[in-house]
Structure 1
Amino acid sequence: MTSTTATTFHYDIVGSFLRPQVLKKARADFNAGKIKQEELTKVENNAIKDLVKKEKEVGLKVVTDGEFRRSYWHLDTFWGFEGIEHTVPEHGYFFHDEETRADSAKIKGKISFTPDHPDVKAYKFLHDLIAGEDDVIARQSIPSPAQFYAELVRGEENEAAARKYYPDTNDLIKDIGQAYHDLIIALYDLGCRDVKLDDCTWGMVVDEGFWKEMANGDFDRLQLQQLYLKLNNAALQDLPADLRISTHVCRGNYHSTWAASGGYAPVAEQLFAKENVSAFYLEFDDDRSGDFAPLASVPAEKEVVLGLVTSKNPELEDQAVLLKRIKEAAQFISLENLSLSTQCGFASTEEGNKLNEDQQWAKIKLVIETAQKVWD
């Protein structure tokens, strides 16, 4: 297995890509009962083969399947665990200027990992596509354990189900941690050496406005951080030394809109210093993410991937501005521990953001070319 890491080349991606039209049509046909699962899977397989070929051609050394088999970046993973059911609540998630589709995950029994989890099947196909290519890594992105917990207590109905099956929250944390640990080990056994935890919980914690609306300002920020750390770190115990675990901190990415705002300062001492990951993928594409000063809390041995190039709109950033911002970030963390990426994926859900595929690839090329100017 290759020892390549994101910081070998100092450029990276977050993971999701715009779904090609042929895949969108096939999924719509499947949902309408016009085609069977086997036919949808065949279309997915072909789309993923084409995507991985493009990823390698553009120069990426860490590739993903674009999350082409998922409808959501997070819910599909949740639905794959034992003890979880797919539900459709009255409302979706409320973003800045749009409400998402209404889907959720609710507890229906004790939570555990199952060997036929869809992420395991998805990773095996991706890994086999690059078998024998020692200069390329196949990454698997999964939503964080903290994100799973947050979904399981989102709304009165979900919260009631959680209390029914887990009257003691510590038992719920334990089972979530074990289920995730088992998933990660199953991925490792298939050859995975790079797992990224996508996590919006921290983006919500820093947003004062979010909590004023959700809890009338009545919340304990430190208590929430400690809970999220406990959830995430429970899954990350006793993992193989050659497995790279990273996390992406997101503020929401749905159809080019966002859900939360706020800089990293309120969570820096907990998230950066105490979460057991080796790299942080951080959004810095606009003023909603604050300044770089909180990066001073990142331990010296850990990496930060700067999400300076937005995936939310088609306009290309000014490379001179990107170079300037990388230099500014290096005042707080070693330049050699920094890399560059887009701030998020291009399609956290199958709707995708408001740009086209050519614009998507132009963004990635800009990331690579800018990184090469800084670190070559």
Structure 2
Amino acid sequence: MVNSTVTKIHYDIVGSFLRPDELKKAREKFNNKEITAKELQVIEDNLIRELVEKEKESGLKIVTDGEFRRSYWHLDTFWGFEGIEHVIPSHGYLFHDEETRADSARVIGKIKFGTDHPDLRAYKFLKELVENDNGIIARQSIPAPAQFYSELVRDEENTKSLRQFYQTDDELIADIGKAYRELILALYDEGCRDIKLDDCTWGMVVDNHYWATRASEGLDRQAIQKTYLAVNNAALVNLPDDLRISTHVCRGNYHSTWAASGGYAPVADYLFAKEDVAAFYLEFDDNRSGDFAPLAKVPAGKDVVLGLVTSKHPALESPESLIARVNEAAQYVTLEHLQLSTQCGFASTEEGNKLTQEQQWAKIKLVVDTAKQIWK
């Protein structure tokens, strides 16, 4: 089922914000056992309160907690499921000109959702900050189920551990789908009506150079798309009609660098045409993203959030160029179903991109102001 919201908002964010220095220092102290988990939580709570007020002051109608409680945009969620352990592989993810920290998630038992999941606790606090604000939506972003699947088969060690508990992908997809669906419904029961699935899997599939390497390893590009689609949609069956589910497709966002390049054409027939979401948040901030033509595969009535304003670099795009590009995209998706956003979050990991706090908010202002010019 495809879900939608009642109110149409034409400007948006992806969700993560630069971590304040106070938070970075507190997390370092916690890791060094200089403060307790409770003391760290108090600092997180205070900084999230300040962030949400800033988001509202900036004119945003959809707010997040900035992902201030996470180290990564994806791994913290994975570690929150039963049957998963936090491991340190020999290498991190290899980006264009940098290697990330080395962390991963590995299967050590059957995958299950537990009611103490950290994303559920995080949303409860965020909801309390806006429950008396009419017209403000508290969003919870979680990594897509396909991203979870991809992590669990990331390398030989992860795959070997996985196969001790799941002999077939069908079994694995069923349990991932069930665990995710239970997390989504638990968030819904707490009042969440807007959930975004962040997903780099499709962003890697579009990269022809990357995929040539994977093909040489015996993987089939069409087959993996079918798997990603199956695992994502397995989590999205029979959801409430008033729950908006969207997805953000990313080509990597770490310390202002990137992991993949390529337009959306190779994945349009699966991702755009068949994934059971109401909206697609898509990167279009530079030439690595390709043109807008694949948007013709987006079904009528679904929204496309154009990530035209980069979150990687401080230079501000001109409003005129943004308006022109939105109008260009409107050849494929009606203006009513387009929105404007940054291309990604400002801190997909706690390192953050190479911008200042002031430059970050200037980007948000540009998005809001330009959208108001387009959708008067």
Does the pair score TM above 0.5? yes
Write the distance in 1 (CA, Å) between the matches of 2:220 and 2:263.
18
Kept in 2, the 8 Å contact 1:211–1:217? The answer is: no
Alpha-carbon offset, residue 358 of structure 1: 0.3
Q: Deviations over 1:44-83 (max 9, x none)?
A: 0000000000000000000000000000000000000000
What does the per-residue CA deviation read over 1:105-148, in whole Å, with 9 as the maximum and x for residues that have no partner?
00000000000000000000000111122210000000000000
Q: Give the structure 2 partner of residue 328 of structure 1.
A: 328
Partner of 1:115: 115
- In the TM superposition, residue 213 of structure 1 has moved relative to its aligned partner by 3.3
1:76-103 Cα distance to aligned partner (Å, 9 max, x none): 0000000000000000000000000000
Counterpart code for 1:112: K
Q: Which runs of 4+ in 1 moved over 3 A?
A: 3-7
For residues 244 and 99 of structure 1, what CA distance do their matches in structure 2 show? 34
Counterpart in 2 of 1:13? 13
Report the equivalent of 2:364.
Answer: 364
1:247-276 deviation digits (Å, cap 9, x = unpaired): 000000000000001000011111111000
2:182 maps to 1:202:
no
Per-residue deviation, residues 301-335 of structure 1 (Å, max 9, x unmatched) = 10000000000000001111111100100011100
The aligned residue for residue 184 of structure 2 is 184
Q: Superposition pairs for residues 38-77 of structure 1, below 5 Å?
A: 38-77=38-77
Check conservation: 2:16, 2:66, Cα contact below 8 A. yes
Equivalent AA in structure 1 for residue 39 of structure 2: E
Contact 2:4–2:245 (CA under 8 A) maintained in structure 1: no
Q: SS at 1:154's partner residue?
A: coil
2:132 maps to 1:132: yes
Distance, in Å, in 2 between the alignment partners of 1:150 and 1:60 is 33
Could you say if the C-alpha distance between residues 53 and 4 of structure 1 is closer, same or farther in structure 2, counting changes exceeding 3 Å?
Answer: farther
Contact 1:4 1:135 in 2 (8 A): no
- The 5 A counterparts of 1:1-376 are 5=5, 8-216=8-216, 218-376=218-376
Alpha-carbon distance, 1:361 to partner? 0.2
Tell me how large the CA RMSD over aligned residues is.
1.3
SS at 1:204 equivalent: helix
How far does residue 240 in structure 1 lie from its aligned partner after superposition?
0.5
Q: Which consecutive unaligned segments of at least 5 residues does structure 1 have?
A: none
Contact 1:6 1:62 in 2 (8 A): no
* Aligned amino acid, residue 148 of structure 1: F
Q: Is contact 1:246-1:279 (8 Å) kept?
A: yes
TM-score by length of 2: 0.98
Distance 1:4 1:49 in 2: 28
Deviation, structure 1 residue 6: 9.5
SS in 2 for 1:33: coil
> Amino acid of the residue matched to residue 188 of structure 1?
Y
Matched residues in 2 for 1:26 and 1:255: separation? Answer: 20
**Contact 1:6–1:339, Cα closer than 8 Å, also in 2:** no
What's the TM-score once normalised by structure 1's chain length? 0.98
Secondary structure of 1:336's partner? helix
Measured in 2, the distance between the counterparts of 1:4 and 1:90 equals 42
Q: Which amino acid aligns with 2:288?
A: R
SS in 2 for 1:305: strand
Deviation at 1:188, TM superposition (A): 0.2
CA contact (8 A) 2:4 2:244 kept: no
Q: Which runs of 5+ in 2 are unaligned?
A: none
- In the TM superposition, residue 217 of structure 1 has moved relative to its aligned partner by 6.7
- Counterparts of 2:307 and 2:191, CA distance in 1: 27
3-state SS in 2 of match to 1:300: coil
Distance 1:81 1:91 in 2: 23
d(CA) in 2 for partners of 1:266, 1:209: 13
Q: From the superposition, tell whether residues 7 and 201 of structure 1 become closer, same or farther in structure 2 (CA, over 3 Å).
A: farther
% same residue: 68
Kindly indicate whether the alpha-carbon contact (under 8 Å) linking 2:249 and 2:280 is maintained by their aligned counterparts in 1: yes
Q: CA deviation at 1:215?
A: 4.5
SS in 1 for 2:99: coil
Alpha-carbon distance in 1 for matches of 2:6, 2:21: 30
Q: Counterparts of 2:212 and 2:179 in 1: how far apart (Å)? A: 33
CA contact (8 A) 2:211 2:221 kept: no
Query: Which whole-Å CA distance do the structure 2 matches of 1:373 and 1:169 have between them?
Result: 48
